[in-house]
Amino acid sequence: MTVLRETWIVFHRQMTLSLRNPTWSILMLSQPLLYLFLFGPLLKPITGQIAQGNDVNAYQVFIPGLIVQLGMFGAMFVGFALIAEYRAGVIEADRVTPASRIALLAGRVLRDVIVLVVQSLILIALSYPMGLRAPIGGVLLALVIVALLGATFASLSYSVALITKSEDALAPLLNGIAMPLLLLSGILLPMSLGPTWLERLSDISPLKHIVEGVRALFRGDISSSTSMWGLFWVLLLTVIGLWSGARTFRKESA
Amino acid sequence: MMIEARGLVRTFKTKRGRGTNLVHAVQGVDLDVADGEIVGFLGPNGAGKTTTMRMLATLIKPTAGTATVAGCDLAEDPVGVRRRIGYVAQSGSTLPEAIAGDEVVAHARLYGVPKATAIARGQKLFDELDLPGMWRRQSKTLSGGQRRRLDIVMGLIHDPKLIFMDEPTTGLDPQARANLWEHIRGLRERGATIFLTTHYLDEADALCDRILVIDHGRIVASGTPEELKQQVSGDAVKLTLADASQVETVSKIASSLPGATEAETDSNTVTFRIPQGGSVLPGLLRSIDLQGIELAGVEVHRPTLDDVFLTMTGRSLRDDTDTPPAAETETDTEKEAVTV
């Protein structure tokens, strides 16, 4: 299929560019480690509170949150790279080719997703010796969720970048969205630790349900309603994200 | 016909404070470009050159009008148009950190050119366009002229019949410009049709078979550089007198010549326009001599495209300080295009 071939070409170009940049590769690999070693130990003393009766340890609660955060924040800021490409005339050069507009987006998103999955794998692999217990099936499904989440946020980020075409507009916008999403997602600590009103408020964030879902997967409750809801929300977000990204890339003047 | 456009219109909405403004960037452009021509689109910044070119290259949709580009209908078959045209944008086409050859190959493959063909063709173009040894270099390490030629390689990599070039030599030094002109002429010899925009008169004059003059979104003149210059009423003659008090007498003699127009005097000079300035000059000099008037100097200037532009629009193309309100449109175009 032509679209797949074109997606591959765009992906290949993006991946080559990323891998050629040593700073980028080192940052990409070290970020998960910083979280693991600088934040993980803080959770150990409060494991009991976090576990809330479940037979889990801190890493089973913490790692799912971290990889969801990776999926979200790792992808959220990719729009800046697109603005640089736009400035250099690359987007226009792409758009004047007969290539499918979807492929121009999908190739870039695919690069971002691969990066996130690799980062998550590193994180999970390093967490096992530190005490993580999680079934392989649950972990694999969790990786699928991270990939979808990454695709959603990357696609939205590219879309907003292409509409604003300005770092000055993009930065406050993304930060404005990222902060409340992070605080209400229960990524760093479970929302159930907080007062009831805060927990209810966090119920409106799909991110919270996704984090809960990934935690259930890490506990091995693969068929539980919590993990199903997580999967449902991430799929819904993916549809919205990819649809709006594709729409922006297709729009004649984007 | 390589390009046949009728009644192209493009209107942008721009937001100013609370209200929306309509900017009429292009207001009904008809144009024809034949196979194998180099056609120049000449006009000041903001005249609608880039907007028209971006419409013809499928980058923005016309608000109204129709066009056939390289045999494909612009509205019905934009992908067909894209397959057949090359587009060299003003803003460049490669990422500064990227390897020049990689960018060229990836670009070619988006046109469906197989990788091996893309490499062979790209390296050949690098040789032809004077980019020896640049294939593995980051594009940021190339000089301005080299980067411009790299953009042209990008635009040519799929062997298009029709090439659009938006201000191909802007920002280049004179030597690099002259060099690029040679390359553009070379493309035509290989059978390509070239449609370029420029705001340099010498470029249009030296390079183009035909020129379209655009101002405020409308085409105000078209023809070969020679035809356009003939529309200006003759050559400019400037007589410098040894004695300033005789200016009026000389001005009378000059004005009495058949076909003389625009006679003006300035302290010790008399200027006027006349067709065939070279052939009337000997007679004129004799009459001045008979009056016992001494001349300190004589100059005859063939009309330039700047004179053409001045005649057509009442403004000088070179006068950058006299920026019309439309000058904002092209920058706005870039920014606001998405909101329309």
Please list the residue range(s) of chain B that carry CATH number 3.40.50.300: 3-229+311-339
Q: Is the pLDDT of residue B256 over 90?
A: no
> B79, A89: Cβ pair inside 8 Å?
no
pLDDT of residue A53: 65
Residues 6+ apart with CB under 8 A from B208: B38, B39, B40, B196, B225
Min Cα distance B181 → chain A (Å) is 22
B233-301: CATH topology: Alpha-Beta Plaits (3.30.70)
- Chain B residues whose CB is inside 8 A of the A84 CB are 95
> By the CB < 8 Å criterion, does B177 face chain A?
no
pLDDT interval class at B317 (50, 70, 90): low
pLDDT of residue B238: 85
Least confident of A217-231, B162-176, B314-328: B314-328
Please list the residue range(s) of chain B that carry CATH number 3.30.70.980: 233-301
Please, what is the Cα angle at A230 between A227 and A234, to 5 degrees?
145
> By the CB < 8 Å criterion, does B244 face chain A?
no
Average pLDDT, chain A: 88
Residues A64 and A218: their CA atoms lie apart, in Å, by 7
> By the CB < 8 Å criterion, does A92 face chain B?
yes
pLDDT in tens, A148-206: 999 999 999 999 999 998 999 999 998 898 888 888 888 877 777 888 898 888 888 89
Min Cα distance B92 → chain A (Å) is 5
pLDDT of residue A54: 67
- Chain A residues whose CB is inside 8 A of the B62 CB are none
Q: Give the closest of B90, B106, B337 to A13, CB-based.
A: B106
pLDDT interval class at B337 (50, 70, 90): very low
> By the CB < 8 Å criterion, does B116 face chain A?
no
pTM comes to: 0.83
Q: Give the closest of A84, A99, A252 to B110, CB-based.
A: A99
Residues A64 and A211: their CA atoms lie apart, in Å, by 7
Q: Which two tokens stand for residue A228?
A: 């199903």
- CATH class as words, domain B3-229+311-339: alpha beta
Choose the mutation target among B10, B152, B338 for the interface with A, i.e. most A CBs under 10 Å: B338
pLDDT of residue B318: 61
pLDDT of residue B246: 78
Residue B304 φ then ψ, to 5°: -105, 170
User: For the residues B29-36, what does the mean pLDDT come to?
Assistant: 94
Q: Is the pLDDT of residue B296 over 60?
A: yes
Residues 6+ apart with CB under 8 A from A26: none
Are the C-beta atoms of residues A184 and A190 closer than 8 Å to each other? Answer: no
pLDDT interval class at B298 (50, 70, 90): confident
pLDDT interval class at A17 (50, 70, 90): very high
pLDDT interval class at B332 (50, 70, 90): very low
List helix spans (H) across chain B: 49-56, 78-84, 100-110, 115-128, 144-156, 174-189, 201-207, 225-231, 247-255, 277-290, 305-313, 327-336
pLDDT in tens, B64-122: 999 999 999 999 999 999 999 999 988 899 999 999 999 999 999 999 999 999 999 99
Q: Is the pLDDT of residue B323 over 70?
A: no
User: For the residues B23-45, what does the mean pLDDT come to?
Assistant: 91
Residues B212 and A244: their CA atoms lie apart, in Å, by 40
> A10, B92: Cβ pair inside 8 Å?
no
Q: Count of H helices and E strands in chain B?
A: 12, 14
> By the CB < 8 Å criterion, does A1 face chain B?
no
Put simply, the chain A residues between 14 and 53 with a CB less than 8 A from any chain B CB are 16-17, 20-21
Q: Is the pLDDT of residue B322 over 60?
A: no
Q: Is the pLDDT of residue B282 over 80?
A: yes
Assign 3-class secondary structure to B163-226: EEEECCCCCCCHHHHHHHHHHHHHHHHCCCEEEEEECCHHHHHHHCCEEEEEECCEEEEEECHH
Min Cα distance A33 → chain B (Å) is 28
> By the CB < 8 Å criterion, does A179 face chain B?
no
pLDDT in tens, B125-153: 999 888 999 999 999 999 988 999 999 99
> A165, B60: Cβ pair inside 8 Å?
no
> By the CB < 8 Å criterion, does B136 face chain A?
no
Q: Give the closest of B59, B95, B338 to A17, CB-based.
A: B95
pLDDT of residue B110: 96
The amino acid that residue A132 corresponds to is L
> By the CB < 8 Å criterion, does B112 face chain A?
yes
Are the C-beta atoms of residues B84 and B160 closer than 8 Å to each other? Answer: yes
Percent of chain B with pLDDT over 70: 92
> A88, B91: Cβ pair inside 8 Å?
yes
> A71: closest CA among A109, A17, A24, A19?
A109
